[in-house]
Amino acid sequence: MKRQINKKLLITAVCAASAVGAAMAQSPADSIALPRLWSYAECVDYAKTHNISLQQSMLTRESGLQDLEAAKAQWFPSLNFSTSQGFTNYPRPADGMKKNSYSGSYGLNAGWTIYNGGKRENTIKRNELSDEVNSLAVEAIHNNLETEILVCYLQILYARDAISIAKQTCEVSRVQKERAEQLMNSGRMSRVDYVQLESQYLNDEYNVVSAEASYNTRRLELKKLLELGIDADMQFPELNFDDTAVLQPLPAKADVYAAAIAWLPELRSLGIEGEMSDLDVKIARAGYAPSITLNGSVVTGNGSGTGFSFGDQLLNGLNEHIGVTLSIPIFDNKTNKTNVAKAKIEKLNTDLKLQSKLNDVAQSVESYYIEAQNAQAKYVSGKKQLESAQLTDELTNEQFKLGLVNTLDLLSSHNTLLNARQELLQAKYMAILNIKMLDFYQNKGITL
């Protein structure tokens, strides 16, 4: 009976250990209910919580807040307790002296900086501005995530539609190959022509595989942005971008640029960094100013050979001190001069970075505008080309069934139709991407 009980306990312990191990092996995403279909908004919301770069920027801001608290604490006085214990040996003591003596001292020391040239006040202001910069950095990373996810998401939708086109094309090739086989068996087509159609069918099969691989690659890129585990499955809802969405009127470039420079966190951050540089100059110049410090202490001590008890020595030796220290810098090996010069250089550098960023924003807005215009024009042209290619392909297929056209004409119409479909699909998604990016620069938010 005892052996059976021990055996049951052993089995229970093993099962419990296995359950704990399985729970520890789970990735963070495994414990969270993931959506069945990932919309663009759900991808962005998930990234807000799980993206590592975004979390690191939040921690950087938290660290900056600690620096701000430390700067504010400089207004308070400092207080510390100190003690020292000493033992002295006299190898040849004088008459009446002991060979060894022991001494100790105990003190409370306080200090408070009354004035240091405004360095303390300006340091607090600088750290407050630094917190704003860190907050804007978090916002900027969030915005970058939105645009990166947008690009990945639209690439996924494009790749998925490309799979559909590839499968449709492959199905047509299969029918053509089967019809060609019948014509070859009846003697109305040569084997050379049949092999060409068979080769086209095999090539279209490969295009399906290639399109599926591209889709999986784009999906993997999105999983990386969202910090999803290897086992996470991502499926996406059907989205249909009609002509109204693709061909919507574009805003004026100047209006987009004006809106962008008013809200982009990167530009606001550089503006604040310019203010920080001004404060750095003031902090550096404070090194030339005198500093005034208030000091106070309460000290006592004890020693051996005095004839008094330890408590009496502490009471008899107790003394209090208060004083003011004025420190005037005279020669500092050019330290202050160097600090002021470097702060002014950093101010100029910040101004140049701001101008460079303004130029980058202007170029980006113009680039998205031109790309959107070109994509819309290609979409309009592509629709007409697709209609023409579909009509030509239908007529060619009917003639092929009757044996009225050769293989080269059939392959030519087949490839023309495939190219027209792909170009129209590409133009549609390029137009949507660039239109959404123009919306982003206008701070309208990105929605799909």
Nearest to 250 by CA among 32, 436, 28: 436
Contact, 128 vs 304, CB < 8 A?
no
> pLDDT-derived band of residue 309, with 50, 70 and 90 as boundaries?
confident
pLDDT of residue 32: 59
Taking residues 403-419, report their average pLDDT: 85
Q: 445 in the Ramachandran plot: left (φ > 0), alpha (ψ -120 to 50) or beta? A: left
> pLDDT-derived band of residue 364, with 50, 70 and 90 as boundaries?
very high
pLDDT of residue 187: 80
DSSP classification of residue 290: -
Please state the CATH superfamily assignment of the domain spanning residues 40-76+118-289+335-441 in this structure. Outer membrane efflux proteins (OEP) (1.20.1600.10)
In the predicted structure, residue 84 carries a pLDDT above the cut 90: yes
Taking residues 404-413, report their average pLDDT: 83
Arithmetic mean of pLDDT over the chain: 87
In the predicted structure, residue 21 carries a pLDDT above the cut 50: no
Q: Which of 208-217, 332-341, 374-383, 435-444 has the lowest mean pLDDT?
A: 332-341
What does the DSSP assignment read for 394-429? HHHHHHHHTT-S-HHHHHHHHHHHHHHHHHHHHHHH
> pLDDT-derived band of residue 438, with 50, 70 and 90 as boundaries?
very high
Q: Which residue has the higher pLDDT, 402 or 112?
A: 112
DSSP classification of residue 264: -
pLDDT of residue 96: 66
Q: 409 in the Ramachandran plot: left (φ > 0), alpha (ψ -120 to 50) or beta? A: alpha
pLDDT of residue 397: 84
Where are the chain's structural domains? 40-76+118-289+335-441
Q: Is 110 helix (H, G, I), strand (E, B) or coil?
A: strand
> pLDDT-derived band of residue 409, with 50, 70 and 90 as boundaries?
confident
Q: Which residue has the higher pLDDT, 25 or 152?
A: 152
In the predicted structure, residue 219 carries a pLDDT above the cut 90: yes
pLDDT of residue 378: 96
pLDDT of residue 287: 87
pLDDT of residue 143: 94
Q: Which of 67-71, 129-133, 190-194 has the lowest mean pLDDT?
A: 190-194
Sheet of strand 319-327, all strands in order from the earlier edge strand to the far edge: 78-89, 100-115, 291-303, 319-327
